[in-house]
A and B are shown apart, each in its own frame.
Chain A
């Protein structure tokens, strides 16, 4: 299906940001946004703002995992994006949870933001293993060591289902879903040893690592494996 010019523009910006974050996860350093990302009069700056919202809490993941402070400009842009794009009243659960995750991350770094009550996650409890894996992959920014949420609890309760979903995603060549599911599996107890998660993630990288969004999830999984922390 052909993308509209607008969605292609947004997707490209998300890929650029993902590439930057993956690089910082791999090599260290600080996540940087283009100067004046929120204030510049150019369309490129505005696209960056939209891309930050789509990338969500993962923008600051390197700083969460390394326990380092983000650059003030990056944190400011992140905060203003949270404030600018609240979910609409009829937004899908993944949209609401993505925004909640950004608020939690913001609260972690500056003590402000929204330490609000968790959104509802009941839909995951009744989801098929296929849908569960798809939704968890979309919500991969919530897969962070030591950060609890109803989504993480749903994942913890169904590690075999997520493992099945990972295999299904690989066999469907849905590398982004496989990478997101793999990131969750890195944090879960009770994952079948026969899954061969590490080899599976290597395979996903081999086949789909050219997509910066996939690379970001794989670098996140790798960084969390080294940290060895449970959800």
Chain B
């Protein structure tokens, strides 16, 4: 291990594994917009419509 790498780990506890994990993140779970955000998008969207399409239906529970 290069000396600077060792210094970083000794001083901070941050290892190469931590760094590589930050460089290969998993995709976070999606959080869907609420109506206020849709309204804000409508104001900024101009003449386009694709982003304004309604959210995909979610499976019904039960």
Interface residue SS majority, chain A: helix
Please judge, given known A-B contacts A10-B18, A84-B4, A88-B16, whether A174 and B23 are in contact too, CB under 8 Å. no
Q: Does A83 contact B (CB under 8 A)?
A: yes
Chain B interface extent, by class: 35 or more
Give CA–CA (A84, B60) in the complex, Å. 51
Stretch of A22-30, A41-49, A109-117 that contacts chain B:
A41-49
A54 partner residues in chain B, CB cutoff 8 A: 19, 22-23
Please judge, given known A-B contacts A7-B18, A84-B5, A200-B51, whether A46 and B24 are in contact too, CB under 8 Å. no
**A75-97 vs B, Cβ < 8 Å mask (1 yes, 0 no):** 00000100111011001101100
Cross-chain contact of A7 among B22, B33, B37, B40 (Cβ < 8 A): B22
Give CA–CA (A83, B2) in the complex, Å. 8
Cross-chain contact of A194 among B14, B25, B50 (Cβ < 8 A): B50
Q: Does A134 contact B (CB under 8 A)?
A: yes
Please judge, given known A-B contacts A9-B12, A88-B16, whether A171 and B55 are in contact too, CB under 8 Å. yes
Are B23 and A195 in contact, CB atoms less than 8 angstroms apart?
no
Please judge, given known A-B contacts A6-B13, A54-B19, A167-B51, whether A46 and B7 are in contact too, CB under 8 Å. yes
Are B12 and A174 in contact, CB atoms less than 8 angstroms apart?
no
Are A46 and B11 in contact, CB atoms less than 8 angstroms apart?
yes
Q: Does A199 contact B (CB under 8 A)?
A: yes
Hey, which bits of chain A sit against chain B, CB under 8 A? 5-7, 9-11, 14, 38, 41-43, 45-47, 49-50, 53-54, 56, 80, 83-85, 87-88, 91-92, 94-95, 98, 134, 138, 167, 170-174, 177, 192, 194-196, 199-200, 202-203, 206-207
A-B contact pairs, 27 of them (CB 8 A): A6-B12, A9-B13, A46-B10, A47-B11, A49-B8, A50-B14, A53-B19, A53-B23, A84-B4, A87-B20, A91-B20, A94-B24, A95-B20, A95-B24, A98-B23, A138-B24, A138-B25, A167-B50, A170-B51, A171-B33, A171-B51, A173-B30, A196-B51, A199-B44, A199-B45, A202-B44, A206-B40
